[in-house]
Amino acid sequence: MSSPCFVTQEATEEILLRVTNVCAECYSDIHEGDTIHYDMQNYRYLCKECQERLCAQMNENCEVVEDRSEGLFG
């Protein structure tokens, strides 16, 4: 799923060594050549599954929209 809130790129050796080698959300391993997504709102790299889940919760302004029906008084 493509979104203007994320930059999609291939995991390179440089990213894995200098930035991270795990998804910032689920902590699964990222390997060289994997497709990763940079979350421009929270400045972190995500795997495809976490990016898709987060993207589904975002509005057009890249803001996470919470379901208000699940609140304590909702």
Q: What is the pLDDT of residues 19-69, one digit of tens each?
A: 999 999 999 999 999 999 999 999 999 999 999 999 999 988 888 887 655
Is 7 within 8 Å of 37 (Cβ atoms)? yes
Is 13 within 8 Å of 32 (Cβ atoms)? yes
State the pTM of this model.
0.80
Residue, of 1 and 46, whose pLDDT is higher: 46
3-state secondary structure of 20: coil
Which DSSP helix (H) or strand (E) runs through 45?
A: strand 44-46
